[in-house]
Structure formats: C-alpha cells, structure tokens
Structure 1
Amino acid sequence: MDLEYTVTENIHRNNNGQVVQIDYQFEETTIVETSSSSSSSITRQNKEKRNRTYNATITRTQYQNLVRHLSNSLPFDAFVDVLRPFIMGFYSSDELQRAFYILDRDHSGSIHINELSSFLPILNDTIDSEALKNYVRKVDQNFDGKMNYDEFRALVLRGIGRDIICNHL
C-alpha cells in the first residue's frame, strides 16, 4: 500500500501581520495493490486508488470561543506554531523545535499526554487520552508513555500527527 498526500496551507493576516485565519486542505490518495491468480497460473496485479480530502479552517475568533471552555489551552499564535508541522508532516528551520517547546509546558524535555491534549481537542474533539496513548506508542521508543524530541519528530514526519487531526488510524 502506498500513500500519497498533498497539503495546501493558506494563512490570512491582518494589517498588523497577525494571523487571523488559517486554512488547510489535505488530499490523501492510497494505492492498494492486490494480486489474484487464475486457474491458468497467471497472476494479475490490480491497483485501486482511494481518495480522501480533509479541510480545516480556523479563525482566531473561532479558536478563542472554543478554548474559552477548555482548561490549559494554548494561545492562538502558539496553536498555529504547533499546528503547521503537525498537519503538514514536515517542517522548516526551527519550526518543529518551537512546536515541541510550546507543547512541553512543564519544560521536562518530553511531551506528556496531558500536554498533547492541550492542543488536539481543538481540532479533534473526539480524541480521548486512551486514543492519544495509542498514537504515542507508535513512536515511543523507550516505552515511557511520553515523547522526547526525537519521538515527537517521528510522530510529525510519519504523519501520525496528521492522522490524529484528521481522525483516522
């Protein structure tokens, strides 16, 4: 199975340069190859393409209304700094390190589930701590139940962060 994806990002700013809206469109194409054999011993390769599209738009005002009911939420600008590498699946310069330090709110050098949940419920309100633990287990090389920087990097680069946001395993 091959996975191809395209992410389009649009950032809207006000006259002061402050981000007021961010839009993402994520297109995912999964190519599944199947083999079938006939009675004449001929093997056929079939390819099936499955497409999914996700759209996420959030404004500063929407975000502030959503987090009003949540404890321990991130400020909107910090949220945007974390969201970008999470949903894009890659990063430039110091974006990933900045996102890691924003999420590592207790400055322990690792991101705990409760710190990760200060970011994710905004985009995926169905995610619970057990589901987050399962996602973290995919990259948790030392099995401590939290993510150090390298494990967080793997979460982003492997697209697991995007999977959490798009709500599919």
Structure 2
Amino acid sequence: MLQAVVQTILPQGSVGTHVDIAEAIDRRLAAGKNAGFRYATLPPDGEAYRQGLTIFFKMLEQTPMGSFDRMPQAAREGYIRCVCNGDVDGPAQFPLSTFMRMLRSDAVRFWIAHPETMLAMNYYGFADGATGNEGWQDIGPNSSAPFEHGPAPSAFQEAGVQ
C-alpha cells in the first residue's frame, strides 16, 4: 500500500531516479524510529502510518473504482489531492490531511537524501540531515589526519601544480 501511494506522490520516472522510498520508510518504522518531529494531532509515526494507510485504502473500497490499484494515475493523483486538502476524510483518530502531509514530507526527505537523487541533480554536497544520510549508506570513521600534522596536501600540490 505504501509503495503505491509513494509512487503516486513522487513519480520518479520524470526525474530519472529509482529510489525505494517506501522501503526506507518501512525500515524506519520497523526499527521503531520516528522522523524527529510529530504533528500534535498525530500519534507516533508507526501508529499514524498504520491507521492512516488503512483508512486511506478502506475509503477507496466505497468508490466506483473499489481500490487504488484499479485507478488510473490521474484519478490516484486526484484522490490524494482531495485527501491532502481535507476534502476526503475518514474515521481515523486524526485528520488524514495531516497524515498525508507527514507521508509527503517523509517521501521527499528520503528521496532527496539518496545519493542517486543528488547525482541526478548534480549536487555534490551534504543533504543527509542530522540523522546521518538517512541510512542509505554506512559512513566509516573519519580518516583525516589529526590537526597537529598540518593540512593534508591537495591533489594539485601532490601533482606538482602551483
């Protein structure tokens, strides 16, 4: 369910990336980690995702399409837009529009922090937030020389270029 919603929220084909955002969100939730912030109207992330996705899809069962899978892309986008605007809401203990705001934020944060996305944007800096690259890759220990040894020679100095 999460995969289908994320692919609709952030269609990566148009930007040339293929990041499995749903898996990254799912791994974070399975580890019991929160995003680091929470809307006051939402329960902790795991419960918000459980309730939010369940109700999101249950409401679709009462539409002519019957399920998200049977909806054409434009209808999926329209349904998500209605939920985000608060036009469609269900029996969750919180507004689904707030849940969708959280889901969209998570999707974009994981997508933008992925090395493949940064490469597609020709960005070569840090985009990993305070959590350490969102778990996309392991970071080894700092291998730079201690400060007392002076600055390391640059590649230009090593090549004899002044």
Interval containing the TM-score (normalised by the shorter chain) = under 0.3
TM-score, normalised by the number of residues in structure 2: 0.27
Bigger relative contact order, structure 1 or 2 (CA pairs below 8 A, ≥6 apart) = 2
Higher helix proportion: 2
Counting strand residues as a fraction of each chain, which structure ranks higher? 1
Q: Which has the larger radius of gyration?
A: 2
TM-score, structure 1 length as denominator? 0.26
